[in-house]
Each structure stands twice: as C-alpha cells, then as structure tokens.
Chains A and B, each alone.
Chain A
Amino acid sequence: MALFARSQLAFIGLIILSLILILAILTPWLPLNDPNVIDTSNRFKRPFSEDSILGTDHLGRDLLSRLLWGTRLSIAVGLCAAIIAAFIGSAIGVIAGFYGGHTDNIIMRGVDMLMAFPYILLALAIVAALGPGLMNALIAVAIVNIPFFARNIRGVTLGIVHREFVDAARLSGMSNAKIIINEILPNVFPVIVVAMSTTVGWMILETAGLSFLGLGSQPPQADLGSMLGEARAAIITSPHTSVVPGVMILIIVMAINLVGDGIRDVLDPRLKSGALSTPRSTTEVAKNKSDAGLKTQTLLSINGLKTEFRIGNRILKAVNDVSLTVDKGQCVGIIGESGSGKSVTALSIMRLVSSPPGIITDGSIDFKGDDLLKLSSEDLRDFRGKKVSYVFQDPLSTLHPLYTVGQQLSEAIQSHNHVGKLEKHKKALELLQAVRISNPEKRLNSYPHELSGGMRQRIGIAMALANDPDIIIADEPTTALDVTVQAQILKLFQDLRREKGLALVFITHDFGVISQICDKVAVMYAGKIVETGPAAEILKSPAHPYTARLKSCVPELGQGKRNLIAIPGFPPMIDNMPSGCAFASRCEKVKQNCQSAMVDVKKIGQERAVRCLFPEEIKAG
C-alpha cells in the first residue's frame, strides 16, 4: 500500500479497479434482472427509467445487468489471456535465455517471425482458423502477446544466468530444472508482474475488439465488446446502449493502466532518487540571494558563491562561499579532489549546473561589471559561448553524436554571428587549423565517433574558440586523454592563450598541469577555497596542510626516491559538514580549536591567502 501512496494517480486507479473487481465478482448475487430476458415491448428504454437504471437495449434486455455480466466476462477473458500469455511467453523466454546458443537462436527466430505480423492481423488469422467464439478470441489474443513476454523475460534471464548465485547453484550440482525454479524464476517474477500489469489492459481491449467485430463472444452471451458491436446499429437513435459498455471499457482499461504505471514506477529505482527530473536550461538562482555584487575592474570576479544540490531532504553544499578573480589574459587553475566543488564552481559561472537539483543560493559572479546571476535566460544565452566558453572533460559524450564536426562548429559560429554559408565554412576551417587539426577540410564531414580522443578534444576547443571569447573555462580537458595527447593539448592551450590573449580557467586535479600553464591557483577542498596565490609560489611552498599533502601525491620526474604519500581518510560528506575546518579530521597538524569554529581566510603575503589557523611557514622566494 505504501508503494502506491507515492503516486496519487496509481492509488485512484487501484481504488476504481478494486471497486469494479468487487462488483464483477459479486454480480451473480446482486439483485439484477436476468441479462438475457428479451422484452421487445420495452426496447431502447432510456437510462434512469423505471426498473432499469441504465435503460434497455435493442431487445429490451436490462442494460445494467448486461453491463455487469459483460464486465465480469471481459475482465475474466482479459485476465485469462494475460495469464496464458505470461505463462507460455515467460516459459519460452526463460528457456531461451537459460540454455542460450542454438536453443535461444531457434526460439527467438520463431518469436521474431510472430512479431513480423501486425499485431491484430495475427489475432484475426487465428480466429479465422479456429472460428468465431469467445474461447477462440481468448486463445488468439493470448498467442499474439506471447512474443512480448518471451522477449522481455529472455532479456532478463540472460542478465542473471551468469551471475554468481546461478553459478553457485550449478556447482552445487542442482539440476537445470531446479535452478530455473529456485534461482531464475524468483528473479524474473517481478518483471513478469510488470509486463502483465502493462499488458492486461491491451488484452482486455483486444478481446473486446474481436467481440465487437462479431468474432468473439456469440449471442446471447455478451462481453463489453459484443455489447458495443450490437449497439452500433442503433448508435444514432439510442446512443446510451453504446455509451454504457464503451465507457465501462475505458474506465477499466484506464484504471489498469494507472495501476500498471504505478507498479512500474515503484520497480524503477531511478525514480526514487529524483534523478529522473531533467535539468532546465539555466541553473536556478535563489530569489532571496543577497546583492553582494562588487563593481570591480577585473574581468571575472566571483564573490561568496554558494551552490547547493537539493535532493529530497538532503542539502549538499557543493560550493560553499567561494570567491575568486580572473584578470584579462590570466590563467587561473582550480585544483582539488573529485567532489571538492571545482567543476560546480566553473559550471556556476555559465549557469550550467543541473537544476534541479542544483541551485545557486548566494553570491555574485561579476563579468565586466554585470552580475551573471541576474541575467535573464535570453541575456545569458548571448553570454554563453560568446564571452565565456566551456571545454568539457569527456569529448565523446559532450559532442552530439549525430551531427558532423562541421555542423557543430558552424552552429557555434551561427549562434552569435549571422554569417553566410561560405563565410561559416571558412571560419570553421580556420578554427580547425587554429587547434592544429590536419586535413581540416576532410574532418569537417566527420562524425565525432570517427575521431580519436585527442582530436575530439581539439574539436571541443575549436568550438569554444568560435566566437573569440574573453575566457575559456576548461574542465579537466585532458583527464580522459592519454599522456602524450595530454601534453599536446596543454601546449595548444598555452599557444592559444598567447595568440589570442584570452583568459583561461583551468580545472584539474593534477599539480603537474598547474605548474605547466597556470599563473594563479586556487585549491579547493569540500566546497571551499582553502588556499589561493601565484602558482609558482604555492607550488614552491604551500601554506595549507591540504595543499602540501595534495602536492606530495604527485610523482615528479627524477625524484624517484621520494615516497608518494596518499592522504589518509576521506573528505567530509558535503551534506554533513563539520563546524570547524573541513580538513581537520585528516590533518596531521590538527589542534583543538581547528574543529570548534569556522576558519576564515587569512592573507599571507601580498597575493596569497589561506584558510588555516596554523599555516605552514612560507619559504622566501
């Protein structure tokens, strides 16, 4: 019951369905008129007339009584068909999946043949052979649905037949039949239930359809379909005789579908986590966010940014009070472990954090004096890709698989400049040359899957360059690539910076990368920046214990004797942050007051700042 309560609609469906089922079961004991007594003097009596609530049909038979008996018959036939189809179909599916090989091949070819028929046509052919009649219609509908079950159940069986518990059962000497009954069946049963709950509705419709055509139940016996079929001739003069059974079918099938959807939703675990909601085009910004914007002369300045993920009752503070500036032409590195909030910070700048569940709750992001968090989605669109562009980590999943490189590049150009076809083509070629792709003319017609990883990342960079942005944010652009390609891409970034004078925000977990290209670095830990300053100085003498530990995780060439020390412990859960320093539990130098209160940022030297009560001593440069 608790399962259904989650979805109100499914619950309503369940109530309606139960009511109808109870009525259908109780029909023989209800004080109804005989459904088959013909009284031609009382033909086509309107509903709500004396002694017949729903009126009478073309032979003067009581419609209410016929409706309930018909409902009983329709549901019974639909259910029987579903059970037969589920039983035979599942058996075929389990056998095909369990034995595999030739057995599977032969069975599934046969199933494919049956599926090559248009659904109802096959049922018609079977009824044609067996002759009209309710039993034959039932058989036909069941047979037609067998392939559906066989296919689904075979798929599930294939998925579990090589799992450990099946192997264990085999090794313990169980017979195949026993394994199927004891190990396989309990695991495929939920799938059978779901498949049945989604098909019972169809089967009731199909049997009703065959009866409607006169191929199912034969008079005087009537199910809902044949009631409709008989009423069709009088549709204009006495529509109630059609409406009554028709609406009943609609209600039954709708209730079943509601319940079926409810069952499916419950058995689909992804729905529970809320992961099924899709992100909107821009990250939501909390309405009560303070106006913290500082009008600065810097190109980009992030002040007190807070980005959270709200999943159910949990609030994950992914970015918690981050401030950072990027000057013109500067390369700023953001470094940290996975989950430290570095990507979310970068995505927040573009307002590309998935929302829901993401929401920016506070802070400001000033770009040339405009707060990006206050832009309308229309203005934001104008900003994205034109002023600031983004290079993503995995170039395979971030390029559209069905558009050619050329199409994706021209689209990036087109989105901010309305240029002619020729010019677009020329510009696309230039971009490919700029990212050092050989044979650019040919590459324009390639699809992403036809390119190597490094080449795809170059395309990603070319796309980011399309509108000569002021800043490129590169989110671990080399992580998915192998080392030599990594070096080439880093060099490309360096060259582009020099040629175009653009600023770069480089996100990485690798101090080696920082040392190669960054002017400035911000070290992030558990959603906060724990240390900032010029890259060279921080690399030489880190002030925060975390930076120091992170740095010593990196192997250095020619320093083989040094021990690589992993940082013990794990970062704190960001929905349950300690009140003091987040790193305290992993820090070697932890003192008592580290854990008592929030640690503030402290300036050390001219350009450096650290969030630590007891920073390392800075060696003079």
Chain B
Amino acid sequence: MIAYIIKRLLSAIPVLLGISVIVFIIMALIPGDPATAILGSFATPENVEKLNRDLGLDKPMIQRYFIWLGNMLQGDFGRSFSLNKDVLDEISERFGATLVLAGVSFVLCSILGVVAGVLSASRQFGITDKLITLSVLIGISIPSFFLGMMMILFFSVQLRWFPVSGMWPIYGARDLSALLSHLFLPALALSVVATGVIARLSRSAMLEVLRQDFIRTARAKGLSEARVIWRHALKAAMVSVIPVLGVQAGFVLSGAVYIEMVFQWPGVGRMLVEAILKRDILLVQGGVVFVAACYVMFNIVVDIIQSLLDPRIKT
C-alpha cells in the first residue's frame, strides 16, 4: 500500500512539470510586451527596458522557464503589480475561501449525485426515476452563475433566509453559523451541475451492475433489497463512479470562478478573473499553477481511495 502511494506520488512529478510547461508556454504566447502592459502605454522606453531586465524577460525562453520553475519551487511566485503584494501570499490568503466553497460543494454533489443515481437506477422507469432524470437534465443545462443569481433573488432578497453575498458578515462575529449561512447558497449553486453529471453516471453504473450475476447471488442468499442495492450493487458501481468524482472535483474547483463572482466570495477564482482583466500575468500564472497542482494532488488521493476499494488493482 505504502509502495503504491509513493509510486503514485512520484508519477505526479512529470504531470506537475507538464502543467508548469503548459502554463509557461501559454503565458509566453502573450502578444505584446508585459512591461508595457504593466507600465502603461505612456512609459518611456528606458523604463520598459529596465522593467524587462528586472522581470528577467531579456533572457532566452528556456532559461526563463527554469528560473521561473526554480523560484516557484522555493515558494517565490513573484510579485503582483496590481496588488503590489507577493503572489503566493495573496493566493494562500484566498485559497482557503475557495477550498471551503469547493470542498463543501464537492461533498454535496458527491452525496446527492450518488444517492440520486442509485434511487433512479433501483426504480428504473418508475416515477422516481423519471423525476430524477428530469431534474438532472435541468441541473446539467442551467448555467451555475444564472442559478446563483436566481437563488440570491429568491432566497436572499425575497425570503431573506440567507445573506446576499460575501463569506463573512460585515459586522458581527465570524463564527461557524455565520460562515454556514453565507456558504449555503453558493455551495449549493456550485454543486448543481456536478450533481447532475454524477447522478447520470451513477445511474448508468448501477444499471450495469444490477444486471450482473453476483447481484442475483446476493438475492439468492435472501438479502434485503436495500442491502443488495446499497451494499452489493453500490460498492461495485463505485469502482466506475469514483474516477468521475475525481474529474468532477476539477469542475467544482474551477467552476467556483463563476460562483465566487456572483456571490462576491473572496476566493482564488475571483482573484484570477480580476487579475486577467488587469493583465496581472504573474498573479494569473501563479494562481493557475497552484490550483492545477492542488487538483493533481487531489486526484492522487482519489486513486488511492480507488485502490482501497478495489482489491483487484495491483498495489
């Protein structure tokens, strides 16, 4: 087991390097001159040249990549010019908020999605199945940002059940109940699409499993139908659901961008959009690499869970 974990961790290294290369290439494609972008179009040529030198932009591409990579490995992601702040400091301040939002959404969509899929499959063609299928269809078709806006309108403005936006109350205690009341709507809005995708997949995985011989064996043993479905069938279906949970984690983590904008959530996503609009390249670069790296690590955790579930995977 430990050998497998180490193996998986080592296999992440080339992926992480690949990610850094892709991000670097994308950022190197930027038309125009970053120094001009930073200093504005009225900057003197001398100042542009000086800034280029300071940023290391006068060196060849390959050299620049390794300098950038080396700095990142030492925790130096550069300095954001728009915020005049260390990039890594800004990211680590913001990332907690995104993690809370995306984490709660992910748990929500995993549980709701799997439960909906199982219910739907075990009552195939029944009224429950049809209702769930219809809700899932709406869920995967609705833009999360529109859903978020409608939620604010209905639950926050009309019913006044939840605060309109933000992560914390402007005045008052920053305790758990304050956080939860601020978190509920954005987390729900963010989880809807992923819930739909997971429910669809769980349904088809369950239908596949329910036709298998070992399900008939379980029934021949005289097990209750609940046990047949929620233990025997679900455990086997999870083998094909869990990898999709990994993919959906990526959707939730990056889809948080929209929700953070709608609900004014102080996370990395909103930071990225603001940085893109201000063309604060270092901040974008750092944010993208950081979030992508977290996602890679999360997928390793998913793989390890998968290997614990399925003894047939050689560890």
Please determine whether B262 and A232 come into contact, CB atoms closer than 8 angstroms: yes
Q: How many chain-B residues does the 8 Å CB contact rule pick out?
A: 76
Question: Which chain B residues in 5-20 approach chain A with CB under 8 Å?
Answer: 15, 18-19
A120 to nearest B CB, angstroms? 4
CA distance A353 to B254 in the complex (A): 47
Please determine whether B214 and A399 come into contact, CB atoms closer than 8 angstroms: yes
Contacts A116-B15, A277-B125 given; indicate if A209 touches B145 (C-beta within 8 A): yes
A118 an interface residue at 8 Å Cβ cutoff? yes
A415 an interface residue at 8 Å Cβ cutoff? yes
B74 an interface residue at 8 Å Cβ cutoff? no
Please determine whether A402 and B239 come into contact, CB atoms closer than 8 angstroms: yes
Question: Which chain B residues in 156-176 approach chain A with CB under 8 Å?
Answer: 157
Chain B interface SS verdict (over half):
helix
Which stretch from B39-47, B65-73, B133-141 is at the chain A interface? Answer: B133-141
List of B residues within 8 angstroms of A411 by Cβ: 221, 223
Contacts A124-B272, A242-B146, A402-B311 given; indicate if A281 touches B228 (C-beta within 8 A): yes
Contacts A125-B26, A213-B258, A254-B137 given; indicate if A246 touches B149 (C-beta within 8 A): yes
List of B residues within 8 angstroms of A389 by Cβ: 220-221
CA distance A498 to B143 in the complex (A): 69
Please determine whether B236 and A401 come into contact, CB atoms closer than 8 angstroms: yes
List of B residues within 8 angstroms of A460 by Cβ: 217
| Cβ proximity bits A513-553 to B, threshold 8 Å, 1 near / 0 not | 00000000000000000000000000000000000000000
List of A residues within 8 angstroms of B213 by Cβ: 392, 394, 397-398
Please determine whether A118 and B292 come into contact, CB atoms closer than 8 angstroms: yes
| Cβ proximity bits B253-291 to A, threshold 8 Å, 1 near / 0 not | 111011001100000000011011101010010001001
List of A residues within 8 angstroms of B258 by Cβ: 209, 212-213
CA distance A256 to B291 in the complex (A): 31
| Cβ proximity bits A244-278 to B, threshold 8 Å, 1 near / 0 not | 00100110011001100000000000000000111
Please determine whether B146 and A249 come into contact, CB atoms closer than 8 angstroms: yes
B31 an interface residue at 8 Å Cβ cutoff? yes
List of B residues within 8 angstroms of A463 by Cβ: 217, 221
Residue of B nearest to A400 (CB): B214
Please determine whether B220 and A385 come into contact, CB atoms closer than 8 angstroms: yes
B232 an interface residue at 8 Å Cβ cutoff? yes
Question: Which chain B residues in 242-261 approach chain A with CB under 8 Å?
Answer: 249-251, 253-255, 257-258, 261
Residue of A nearest to B261 (CB): A213
B219 an interface residue at 8 Å Cβ cutoff? yes
CA distance A466 to B150 in the complex (A): 57
Please determine whether A126 and B26 come into contact, CB atoms closer than 8 angstroms: yes
Question: Which chain A residues in 163-215 approach chain B with CB under 8 Å?
Answer: 201, 205, 208-209, 212-215
Chain A interface SS verdict (over half):
helix
Kindly identify which residue among B143, B239, B257 contacts A249, using a CB–CB cutoff of 8 Å.
Answer: B143
Which stretch from A127-135, A287-295, A305-313, A591-599 is at the chain B interface? Answer: A127-135
Which stretch from A62-70, A366-374, A375-383, A582-590 is at the chain B interface? Answer: A375-383
List of A residues within 8 angstroms of B30 by Cβ: 129-130
CA distance A232 to B213 in the complex (A): 54
B109 to nearest A CB, angstroms? 14
Residue of B nearest to A254 (CB): B141
A443 an interface residue at 8 Å Cβ cutoff? no
B14 to nearest A CB, angstroms? 8
Please determine whether B255 and A120 come into contact, CB atoms closer than 8 angstroms: yes
Please determine whether A381 and B26 come into contact, CB atoms closer than 8 angstroms: no
List of A residues within 8 angstroms of B232 by Cβ: 400, 403
A328 an interface residue at 8 Å Cβ cutoff? no
Please determine whether A132 and B277 come into contact, CB atoms closer than 8 angstroms: yes
Residue of B nearest to A252 (CB): B141
Please determine whether B153 and A125 come into contact, CB atoms closer than 8 angstroms: no
Contacts A118-B251, A400-B214, A402-B236 given; indicate if A384 touches B221 (C-beta within 8 A): yes
Residue of A nearest to B298 (CB): A118
Residue of B nearest to A414 (CB): B223
- Which 6 pairs of residues, A with B, have the shortest CB-CB distance? A246-B146, A118-B250, A385-B222, A118-B254, A120-B254, A113-B18
Other A-B pairs beyond A118-B250, A212-B261, A402-B311, 6, CB < 8 Å: A116-B19, A125-B23, A212-B258, A384-B220, A402-B235, A447-B311
A-B contact pairs, 8 of them (CB 8 A): A113-B15, A121-B288, A121-B291, A212-B258, A352-B220, A397-B213, A400-B214, A415-B221
A residues near B (Cβ < 8 Å) are 109, 112-114, 116-121, 124-132, 201, 205, 208-209, 212-215, 225, 228, 232, 235-236, 239, 242-243, 246, 249-250, 253-254, 257-258, 276-279, 281-282, 350, 352, 354, 377, 381-386, 389-390, 392, 394, 397-403, 411-412, 415-416, 447, 449, 460, 463, 466
